[in-house]
């Protein structure tokens, strides 16, 4: 089934054009940014509408953002595998997490001007970075739907080519990378609790990483070292995706001014 057929213009959409007359100009600017003229105006317009406008679930970019997140992960995964044919799954996973995290998407989105295209209710963006990242993912889906896979692939790959070739963090030792980040704001280092699991004659280990008393993430491995590395990797991915920050931890562990 053609995805384009699933995006029929809902009743009430014309009222949005009346309430937000600037949306036509924003779509034209998106077309310039992506190098694509849309056949269906509704699709790129929908990609720019933040849920704070409260027009209902059918008139916001949430569904396109969900789809664009899948497309982005597919494109970046394929690109990383092609670029690094000898890398193991863990290294590829860490690189992908760096690239598709909220911080990375927000930075690239601002670099190309998507931050000026978000259509939202006035003063209704408590997390502006998340809104930009969501719009970015929604516009990937819009381009894929209207322009096809190849055009979306080429656009995304061009934007992230430098990050694919020059990773932002060390990908070899997630424990060291995570500890370096923690040391930038806290006296207390992260610590790990490891449990040995025996099931059906199979032995494996589960490691949980904490900062202070706060649980952060966990990982599984065939030995204690691999389990703690997996836990650190999971914590790094949360950090890179913007799901944890230094503000999430108790003040007692922070550096004193």
Catalytic residues, by residue number, are: 69, 137
| CB crowding 7-31: b at 16 or more within 10 Å, else e | beeeeebeebeeebeebeebbebbe
Q: Give me the DSSP letters along 118-135.
A: -B--TT--S-HHHHHHHH
Could you tell me which of 48, 18, 49 has the C-alpha nearest to residue 33?
Answer: 48
What are the DSSP calls for 187-228, one per residue? SSPPEEEEEEEEETTEEEEEEEEEETTEEEEEEEESSHHHHH
Three-state DSSP string of 48-115 = HECHHHCCCCCCCCHHHHHHHHHHHHHHHHHHHHHHCCCCCHHHHHHHHHHHHCHHHHHHHHHHHCHH
219: left (phi over 0), alpha (psi -120 to 50) or beta: beta
């Amino acid at each position: 089934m053609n995805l384009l057929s699933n995006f029929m213009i809902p009743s009430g959409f014309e009222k949005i054009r009346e309430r937000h007359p600037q949306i036509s100009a924003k779509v034209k600017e998106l077309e310039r940014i992506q190098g694509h003229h849309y056949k269906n105006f509704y699709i790129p317009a929908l990609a720019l509408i933040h849920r704070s406008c409260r027009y209902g679930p059918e008139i916001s970019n949430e569904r396109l953002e969900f789809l664009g997140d899948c497309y982005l992960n597919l494109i970046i995964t394929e690109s990383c595998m092609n670029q690094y044919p000898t890398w193991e799954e863990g290294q590829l996973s860490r690189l992908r997490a760096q690239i598709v995290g909220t911080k990375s998407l927000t930075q690239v989105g601002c670099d190309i001007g998507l931050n000026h295209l978000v259509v939202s209710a006035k003063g209704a963006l408590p997390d502006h970075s998340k809104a930009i990242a969501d719009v970015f993912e929604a516009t990937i889906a819009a381009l894929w739907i209207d322009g096809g896979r190849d055009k979306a692939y080429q656009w995304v790959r061009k934007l992230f080519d430098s990050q694919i070739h020059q990773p932002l963090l060390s990908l070899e030792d997630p424990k060291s990378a995570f500890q370096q980040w923690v040391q930038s704001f806290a006296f207390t280092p992260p610590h790990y609790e490891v449990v040995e699991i025996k099931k059906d004659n199979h032995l494996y280990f589960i490691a949980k990483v904490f900062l202070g008393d706060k649980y952060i993430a966990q990982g599984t491995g065939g030995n204690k070292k691999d389990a703690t590395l997996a836990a650190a990797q999971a914590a790094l991915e949360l950090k890179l995706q913007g799901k944890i920050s230094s503000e999430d931890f108790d003040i007692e562990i922070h550096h004193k001014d």
